Amino acid sequence: MTRYDVKRELKECYAPRNADWALVDVPTQQFIAVDGCGDPNTSADYARAVEALYAVAYTIKFTSKAALGQDFVVGPLEGLWWSDRPEVFTTRAKDAWHWRMLISQPDWITDDLINEAKQAAQAKKSLPTIAEIRRETLKEGTSAQLLHIGPYDDEGPVLARLHREYLAANNLRMSGHHHEIYLGDHRRTEPAKLKTILRQPVQTAN
């Protein structure tokens, strides 16, 4: 049985090598998702959201393999981030951040299978946030993207360059939420070696 792996199937989107902003065409994808707000380093809601997402993601994987004979590698944790004040991302004012945490799902995963997996995960784990998880479709299309290596808090200058230089120089404007894809486990990786894909959907400015 060949396992579907989104990192292999969508290499341009999940394995970029460019360390400066470049455009990529992101196809429509489906995810399981849960929303919240606040500092991800200190918010109990954030920790509960991530725990619940992984519980459901692995239950979907095992259910798909057992019921459909279709296996897949659970994708990396991803996040959409936004605020009424975009400057809070370059200044790292994390209490003002809104987030939507995501894990990619193969095309064959249906709403019924997600709901079945939520019920099974809830019965096993008893995590209240599981009830908030839903299916989410993203249609990002043309996006500016790069691979950031280093601590999350070092992203500020990189994002400032996007907002203040790259967009204007290429006649672009933002058309969606800031998107991050976390490659690896921050709990087991020293900050200097963290790998994060930074993505911003864009469109022509005029």
Contacts 24+ apart (CB under 8 A), 158-163: 158/198, 159/89, 159/90, 159/198, 160/90, 161/21, 162/21, 162/200, 163/86, 163/90
> pLDDT at position 12, please?
96
Partners of 180 in beta bridges: 79, 198
Tens of pLDDT along 59-109?
A: 999 999 999 999 999 999 999 999 877 776 767 778 878 999 999 999 999
pLDDT of residue 186: 73
Q: What is the pLDDT of residue 84?
A: 78
- Side-chain-side CA neighbours of residue 111 (13 Å): 4
Closest Cα partner for 117 from 41, 127, 90, 83? Answer: 127
- pTM listed for this prediction: 0.94
For residue 204, the model assigns a pLDDT of 96
* CB 150, CB 192: distance < 8 Å: yes
Give me the pLDDT at residue 180, please: 97
Domain boundaries, the chain: 6-12+26-204
Confidence of residue 53 (pLDDT cuts 50, 70, 90): very high
Looking at residue 72, what DSSP letter applies? B
pLDDT at res. 151: 92
Q: Report the pLDDT averaged over residues 109-113.
A: 97
Mean local confidence (pLDDT), 23-41: 95
Neighbouring residues of 188: CB distance < 8 A, sequence distance ≥ 6: none
Contact 36, 49 (CB under 8 A): yes
Give the model's pLDDT for residue 96: 78
pLDDT 10s digits, 158-203:
999 999 999 999 999 999 999 999 998 777 788 899 999 999 999 9
Q: What is the pLDDT of residue 182?
A: 97
Q: Among residues 1, 16, 7, 70, which one has the least CA distance to residue 196?
A: 16
Inform me whether the pLDDT recorded for 2 exceeds 90.
Answer: no
Note the pLDDT of residue 98: 92
Residue 206: band (very low, low, confident or very high) from pLDDT cuts 50, 70, 90: confident
Average pLDDT, the chain: 93
Euclidean distance between CA atoms 102 and 112, whole angstroms: 18
The stretch 43-51 carries a mean pLDDT of: 95
Superfamily of chain region 6-12+26-204: Regulatory factor, effector binding domain (3.20.80.10)
